[in-house]
A and B are shown apart, each in its own frame.
Chain A
Amino acid sequence: MDLVLRSLLDKKLTKLLIMCKIKKVRVSNHSSFKMLSMLLSSLFLFAIMSVSAQKTITGSVSDSNGPLPGASVVVQGTNSGTTSDFDGNFSISVDDGAILLVSYVGYQTQSITVGNQSTIDVVLSSDGSLEEVVVTALGIVKLKEKISYSAQTFMAESINQSRDGDIAQLLSGQVAGLSIITNNGSAVSSSRIVLRGESSLNPDKNQPLIVYDGVLISNKYIGIGSSPVSSDLPIDYGNSLNDLNPDDFDTVTVLKGPKAAALYGERGSNGAVIITSKSGKNKTGLGVSYTSGLSLTSVNRFWDEQYEYGGGGTLNGVPNQFRDGWGGNFGPKTNGQLISQSTYWDPNPEPTPFLQKADREGFFRTGVSYNNNVAVSFSEDDVWGRVSLGRISKEGIIPNTEYKKTNLGIRLGANLNEKISIDVSLNYVNGNSMNVPDIGFKSGGLMYSMLWVMKNFELEKDYWFPNQENTYPSKGAVKWSTSPHLIANENLNGFDKNRVFGNSRISYKINDNLSALVRVGLDTYTDRRQSRRPAQRAFRTGVYREQDISLQELSTDFLMTYAKELNDKFSLEVNVGASSYRQKIRNKIERTNNLAIKGIYSLANAGDIVAITQRATEKKLNSTYGTVELSYDNKLYFDLTARNDWSSTLPKANQSFFYPSFGISAVISKMTELPDFISYLKLRTSFAQTGNSTDPGIINNSYNLGVLPNSTTNPATLTDANLKSESTQASEFGIDLRLFNNRLNFDIDFYDYSTTNQILTAPISTSTGISSRRFNAGEIKSSGIEIVLAAKPIVTDNFYWSSIFNFSKSKSEVVSLTEGIETLIITSGPQGGTIEARPGGRMGDLYGRGYVRDPQGNIILESVGGNMRPIIDNNIKKLGNYNPDWTMGISNIFKYKNFDLNIFLDYRNGGEFYSLTGSQLYRSGSITESLPHRESDFVPDGVVENGGTYTKNTGTTTGYDWYRANWDKNNIEANTYDTTFLKLRQVSLGIDLKSILKNSSIENLNVSIFGRNLATWTKDNFVRHFDPEVSTFYGSSFRPGFEVGQLPGAGTYGINIKASF
């Protein structure tokens, strides 16, 4: 029958095809489970009828991969038991009607009532966590037991309960050692993923590789715009992670560290996130699954505003009036008194009641999202497939912002004959939006304009003067700003991205031991973006800009596998492969800063020239690699890998670079007798080296085209002529310990990295004529510990509680830079704050200007214009570090009958950030912190200098002057805060309605409600004004440690219905 046929087939498949095989076997398990239960229930009937008698039962225990040696077979309620032998066989004497418990680590224990049969063949299935197999580099599936490095695998269902967010957001806090930064609050946003701390001095390089069904997905974000405090604000159109459809995911495996990803070569040096999609094999015949979700996103964390005062100023000689252009909300009380409220469009109006009118938080809306997915799968003997269509329509919390995405995923597989099988996956994604917001804090940016809407201002939707549409000036904001409604409705940033990615794989089984695989993966997209700006404060004559990006990545690889059992104890597996990878990127930006006819957004409507910038780069990487894996008695595993890369981006002499890795994994619990409560103990250790080349086109030091026609100029960055590849050495040691029959599992890792010869782009003295130099230097050492603790405190028939706790602590230290360089500015934030690497320092150290203090540490004050102000040091000093000291995630799952409740908390301890918005909230008198001292002068804390001695200050100042002077945006120290937070990341409650649908054609029906980012607690009270997950977007990259006009924190609530037929 089908089952037998399948298992036979499975045995013949080579290990190369384990990936398919595992999937398939899970299927078989599934169907065999049904059959087994039928069988068992009939056996049960027999058992009742038959008479008890002692007899010998023989049988076998196997899993999808074949026999399971060492499985435990015991008779319930007795001491008698046995274990299966190397071939999975056992024999045991039992009474009729006895119950056999067959168990094996990581598998669901089966109980079998002995009837009148004499042989029992048991097929155990994984206990659902699928933790026993791991999809490793190049898609090679391995038993987790064999691997010598850390990996965490998730069933996609378990992390995608909310179906809200991309893969990065879903993994946030779930993986020990994985940290994610994203632009919150936008309908579409990029994410920065870092595994195990930062080992590269180049912040854009610390990201792991994303692999989807064997295709290396380019996560390179090609941005637009520059600094978030410039008029050319960056725009986050979302990176590649947005293009993947979590509803198609089957498993997500996070391979941490270079050893794990050594076979991926340079792109895997920061680890890899490997996603496999659903193949369609999980159900024989035709299956349809339908998932539908509705969610609402609204602001739940915003500035804690004061509601007592409005804007101020002197008008026509009368103080305590309101005059636009004067400053912040330090004016009269908004108690309804009659005040002439002068704006630049209405300078001398009649007095009107002075009231709180600007409902800033009310400007934001509740964004409604729909997320529907339908998938059809089929599986029939040797052919299987799945087609999935998904559609997401999402509104942002900013009015008039949105994101729409359509995914089409097709996967087809077939065993063409006994030797050849193919697997094809093809995905098409269209993501588009008519408007996504700018990120940053400058006129033209939303949060800037929001902050400078005076509290007595009406947030006018009617921002144009009559008959002066698209013309500067406009209404609704102070004169150096722009109306938020204008920004939302007129400053549009649209995009339309079409992406196709997929792979095709042919595997050929040459003989029982040898097989070959050829795989071609393609990832290509085009992204068309437009930005339009009518005439306004920051763009007097209007702007129209188009950006066209095309990216193409083609990778071809070839892998041969030789697997053989050398004798009873030893088995060998050898892989040899080669790959070729090619990346082409085109990026063109066309921009006019002068629209001839107002309101017409077209390059053809340029009033003067259209500025064009164009880049075209190409990169090739050829590689050969091999692995040797030796297993002894299924207890002790040793593996060795080697890879050589040839990269087109390096000078000829340095194009080739080689790196090895090795690892040992020992299952102690199989080797020696351990106390009963220890169910399993594995130790693993590994060492790996990886190399990394660089970006294309940099070693040539090409000139730039000059500003004017027919001219050239030196580039701002020059690259050393003999640039070499980077090198990372990593070692790790891990313990996999499971106690009390797997009720309490520990997975602990210690790691140590050293990255040398880093390719740095470091600012150098601009008196050289260039601003930065690209060269090899620097050594970073990272070390850390990661703990994953999985516990199942309560497991009963009706109630189940499982808890997963992850903890990580990592520290990356700068050992050295290069001779003559004392510091490396990794990123510069706004207002002179910098993230610098200095030898002996930690990665992520934040530097900037701060207070001048006396020897006792008191702030020194001076009188300026009769007001006491702190003196701000011209020299910079270390003020913090943006990396947390440690992080923790706790996930609790409760199941009661058909209900399941999932609660997930995310905690981050330590770390600091600079907040530009914080400075401006004080300075604009917007927040409750700015309420004291408005009505009378006060004596600020601090000392004053008197000829070298310091005495306590007795001078006074006004609240207004103090808030402006002390929280000056250049005072990085005053505006730096502790990030520590606890976040209620997700709560979901689901009900499984399968049982009430027994007689319908619906197989599964599940309804769940969820909430994401529901609540946040911060250690520093001031951080209540923000979402503490802070970052700043600069053109193409995230710069952690700086908060610059961040959108408000938002929470999402929703409902999902999943049904399958």
Chain B
Amino acid sequence: MKYISKIKVLILSIFFLGACTGDFEEINIDENLPTTANSGTLLPSTIFDGLNPHLNLQFELTNQLMQYKVYRNNNQSDRYDLVSGAAIFDGFWEAAYKVMLDNNESIVYAQENGLNAYEAAAKILNAFYGASLTELWIDVPFSEASKGVSASIQPAYDKQEDVYAKVLMLLEEANTLLAADTKGFVMKGDILFGGDVMKWRKMANSLHLRYLLRLSNQGSINASTKINAIVSNPSTYPIIDSNDEAAIYDFSGVEPNSSDFSLKTALSGLSPSARFVSVLDGVDASDDADDDPRLPFFATKPPAAPNGPFVGVLSGTTREEAQGTGGNAELYASQFTSKFQENRGLLDFVFISNAEVQFILAEARLKNWITTSTSKSYYETGIAANLAYWNITMPVDFLTRADVVWDDTLDTLMNQKWIAMFFNNTLEAWGDNKRTGLPNLIPGPLATTVTGGLIPTRVFYPTLEQSVNSANYSAASSSIGGDKITSKHWYQN
């Protein structure tokens, strides 16, 4: 019966075998993936990850809405036939909140370790994305958002006024943190400014100006006073004052560090809009000499008539018309130049440009909110800054041409600002248009059917929100007057 005891031992050991779980935790970790993160490794992601989704959004939506360009084959966006669930909008929403989640983790880490610069950078980026989100959707989750699964997984929507209040607060805090910073970007990772704390600070305060101006119709914000406080205290609130200081991410052009934008500029079926061409080709359309030098920089002559004038395609027409009833639009309409596609590093991501800051100041000065310099000077500096950004030499007579010369009107100012925003940040051109109605864009013939002739002010909430965050979605929809593409922004009142 000797084996009986052996069997007992064996059976017992079987059960012990099952309980041998000592290395379980260790083997369950994929060694190819990091299990921890810090501000230094999160910062590059938070700077980079939202850029292409933002560019795609500009490319598919605001470039058309703001009548910079036309898709001859698919003119849905410029005739305002937007759909819910469009990947381009939902994709930006997702990317922006993801960036803010990484930022929020970085803020916690930075606070624990006294890293002011990282905390400030994260807050500036959060402010930028918060403002971009509300620009697209009006009420959006913000104070409860981007907290992963540790907080509510059904974040409530903040009203636009609360989103902007928080955006302004974040920028104020960032400026304060950076002013008191001593360590800088010690953990590396600043792929935007190479560790230059002052540039971050100027970005914060310049964005602050942009959003204050956006809200300036709302008296409760008292935007004009705050703008003056910033502009008149350059030591407390340094702002961008040259192209070198602009908040611009410079893609290397080598995958994956490249702009999705640049590839798409060479898409077939893409033409500058009739509006864009008519504004840029000067007083006399058939005379190249009075053309804005940016026109030949961006666009080609129609391939079939290289010696004739530039020809744009009318926004918001039927596909057939956009294709050109008079012939092949790809032969008889202007196209975009291939330089951006050939040099994938050429196009940047512009958080905020020097030109935009100058145009903001020009408007503030025109409205006498500030007292420094003159509107004319700010306006002309803005134009010069944009031409310099593209490395275009300004024709000597340019600032005195009839369609450019400063005439103390917001129309002229906003026209040049609109031109300067192209390939920079057309989402902000849309914001300006919502606030001022300028430039006065005329919807195309087909655009009237979907929105009754109104230019869309927002896009549909992501379809998924209807399913996974439905109570908050419904509340937000009714708060903004319905999940429609024409609901009004709070700042428009």
Contact of B20 among A315, A622, A863 (CB under 8 A): A622
Interface positions, chain B 1-54, Cβ under 8 Å from A, are 3, 7, 10-11, 14-15, 17-21, 23-25, 27-37, 40-45, 48-49
A821 interface contact, C-beta 8 A: yes
B73 interface contact, C-beta 8 A: yes
User: Which among B55-63, B138-146, B219-227, B349-357 touches the partner chain?
Assistant: B138-146
A319 and B102 alpha carbons, distance in the complex (Å)? 55
A763 interface contact, C-beta 8 A: yes
CB distance from B279 to the nearest CB of A (A): 26
Contact of B45 among A594, A707, A767 (CB under 8 A): A707
Complex contact B255–A560 (CB within 8 A): no
Q: List 9 A-B contacts (CB under 8 A).
A: A313-B323, A560-B10, A649-B28, A696-B30, A702-B29, A708-B48, A720-B149, A821-B468, A822-B467
Complex contact B327–A317 (CB within 8 A): yes
Complex contact B463–A763 (CB within 8 A): no
Interface positions, chain B 152-200, Cβ under 8 Å from A, are 153-155, 188-189, 191
**Contacts A325-B268, A706-B45 supplied; 9 other A-B pairs, CB < 8 Å:** A315-B327, A622-B18, A622-B21, A697-B29, A708-B48, A708-B191, A710-B41, A769-B102, A874-B83
Interface positions, chain A 689-731, Cβ under 8 Å from B, are 696-697, 699-700, 702-714, 716, 718, 720
A510 interface contact, C-beta 8 A: yes
Query: Chain A contacts of B94 at CB under 8 A?
Result: 766, 771
Complex contact A624–B28 (CB within 8 A): no
Complex contact B446–A764 (CB within 8 A): no
User: Which among A408-416, A573-581, A663-671 touches the partner chain?
Assistant: A573-581
Complex contact A712–B45 (CB within 8 A): yes
The 10 nearest A-B residue pairs measured at CB: A769-B101, A711-B44, A578-B14, A648-B24, A767-B141, A702-B33, A769-B146, A765-B469, A713-B45, A706-B45
B256 interface contact, C-beta 8 A: yes
B465 interface contact, C-beta 8 A: yes
Complex contact B328–A825 (CB within 8 A): no
User: Which among A29-37, A611-619, A939-947 touches the partner chain?
Assistant: A611-619
Complex contact B41–A712 (CB within 8 A): yes
- Contacts known (A702-B34, A711-B42); A767 close to B25, Cβ less than 8 A: no
Residue of B nearest to A867 (CB): B318
- Contacts known (A608-B254, A646-B24, A697-B30); A702 close to B35, Cβ less than 8 A: yes
Q: Which A residues have a C-beta under 8 Å from some C-beta of B?
A: 313-317, 319, 323, 325-327, 342, 344, 347, 479-480, 510, 514, 540, 558, 560, 576-578, 580, 593-594, 608-609, 611, 614-620, 622-624, 644, 646-649, 652, 655-656, 696-697, 699-700, 702-714, 716, 718, 720, 762-771, 773, 820-823, 825, 832, 836, 849, 862-865, 874-876, 970
CB distance from B327 to the nearest CB of A (A): 5
A121 and B98 alpha carbons, distance in the complex (Å)? 79
Complex contact A707–B148 (CB within 8 A): no
B128 interface contact, C-beta 8 A: no
Contact of A314 among B255, B320, B449 (CB under 8 A): B320
A762 and B17 alpha carbons, distance in the complex (Å)? 35
Complex contact B3–A707 (CB within 8 A): no
Query: Chain A contacts of B153 at CB under 8 A?
Result: 764-765, 768, 773, 820
Query: Chain A contacts of B41 at CB under 8 A?
Result: 706, 710-712
Complex contact B97–A768 (CB within 8 A): yes
Complex contact A718–B148 (CB within 8 A): yes
CB distance from A677 to the nearest CB of B (A): 49
Contact of A576 among B14, B30, B320, B460 (CB under 8 A): B14
Query: Chain B contacts of A821 at CB under 8 A?
Result: 468
A649 and B25 alpha carbons, distance in the complex (Å)? 8
Complex contact A875–B45 (CB within 8 A): no
B269 interface contact, C-beta 8 A: yes
Contact of A594 among B31, B104, B255, B323 (CB under 8 A): B255
B462 interface contact, C-beta 8 A: yes
CB distance from B44 to the nearest CB of A (A): 4
Query: Chain A contacts of B191 at CB under 8 A?
Result: 708
A57 and B141 alpha carbons, distance in the complex (Å)? 92
Query: Chain B contacts of A593 at CB under 8 A?
Result: 255
Complex contact A770–B17 (CB within 8 A): no
Residue of A nearest to B41 (CB): A712
A514 and B1 alpha carbons, distance in the complex (Å)? 13
Contact of B15 among A314, A578, A614, A970 (CB under 8 A): A578
Complex contact A763–B468 (CB within 8 A): yes
Contact of B98 among A618, A762, A769, A864 (CB under 8 A): A769
A624 and B13 alpha carbons, distance in the complex (Å)? 10
Complex contact A609–B254 (CB within 8 A): yes
Contact of A767 among B155, B269, B470 (CB under 8 A): B155
Query: Chain B contacts of A514 at CB under 8 A?
Result: 7
Query: Chain A contacts of B90 at CB under 8 A?
Result: 766
- Pick from B73, B98, B141, B323 the residue with the most CB of A within 10 Å: B98
Residue of B nearest to A820 (CB): B154
A480 and B269 alpha carbons, distance in the complex (Å)? 10
Query: Chain A contacts of B11 at CB under 8 A?
Result: 560, 576
A712 and B18 alpha carbons, distance in the complex (Å)? 37
- Contacts known (A707-B256, A713-B49, A770-B148); A652 close to B25, Cβ less than 8 A: yes
Complex contact A711–B189 (CB within 8 A): yes
Query: Chain B contacts of A540 at CB under 8 A?
Result: 263
B326 interface contact, C-beta 8 A: yes
Residue of A nearest to B90 (CB): A766
Complex contact B468–A314 (CB within 8 A): no
Interface positions, chain B 435-457, Cβ under 8 Å from A, are 446, 449
Query: Chain A contacts of B33 at CB under 8 A?
Result: 615, 697, 702-705
CB distance from A624 to the nearest CB of B (A): 4
Residue of B nearest to A702 (CB): B33
Complex contact A615–B28 (CB within 8 A): no
Query: Chain A contacts of B73 at CB under 8 A?
Result: 325, 480
Query: Chain B contacts of A619 at CB under 8 A?
Result: 27-28
Residue of A nearest to B464 (CB): A763
Query: Chain A contacts of B228 at CB under 8 A?
Result: none
A480 and B72 alpha carbons, distance in the complex (Å)? 13
Residue of A nearest to B269 (CB): A325
A825 and B256 alpha carbons, distance in the complex (Å)? 31
Complex contact A609–B255 (CB within 8 A): yes
A315 and B41 alpha carbons, distance in the complex (Å)? 56
A1038 and B35 alpha carbons, distance in the complex (Å)? 31
Complex contact B462–A766 (CB within 8 A): yes
Contact of B105 among A342, A558, A714 (CB under 8 A): A714
B84 interface contact, C-beta 8 A: yes
Residue of B nearest to A698 (CB): B28
A709 and B470 alpha carbons, distance in the complex (Å)? 38
A664 and B20 alpha carbons, distance in the complex (Å)? 34
Complex contact A614–B470 (CB within 8 A): no
Query: Chain B contacts of A708 at CB under 8 A?
Result: 44-45, 48, 191, 256-257
Query: Chain A contacts of B290 at CB under 8 A?
Result: none
- Contacts known (A648-B28, A652-B24); A317 close to B34, Cβ less than 8 A: no
Query: Chain B contacts of A874 at CB under 8 A?
Result: 83-84, 460, 483
Complex contact B149–A712 (CB within 8 A): no
Query: Chain A contacts of B19 at CB under 8 A?
Result: 622, 646, 656
Query: Chain A contacts of B469 at CB under 8 A?
Result: 764-765, 767
B147 interface contact, C-beta 8 A: yes
- Pick from A326, A647, A713, A823 the residue with the most CB of B within 10 Å: A713
CB distance from A585 to the nearest CB of B (A): 10
Complex contact A624–B323 (CB within 8 A): no
- Contacts known (A479-B268, A649-B28); A624 close to B15, Cβ less than 8 A: yes
A769 and B191 alpha carbons, distance in the complex (Å)? 22
Contact of B148 among A623, A769, A820, A970 (CB under 8 A): A769
A720 and B460 alpha carbons, distance in the complex (Å)? 30
Query: Chain A contacts of B188 at CB under 8 A?
Result: 710
Contact of A713 among B98, B324, B465 (CB under 8 A): B98
A849 and B83 alpha carbons, distance in the complex (Å)? 11
Query: Chain A contacts of B18 at CB under 8 A?
Result: 578, 622-624, 644, 646
A823 and B19 alpha carbons, distance in the complex (Å)? 38
Query: Chain A contacts of B288 at CB under 8 A?
Result: none
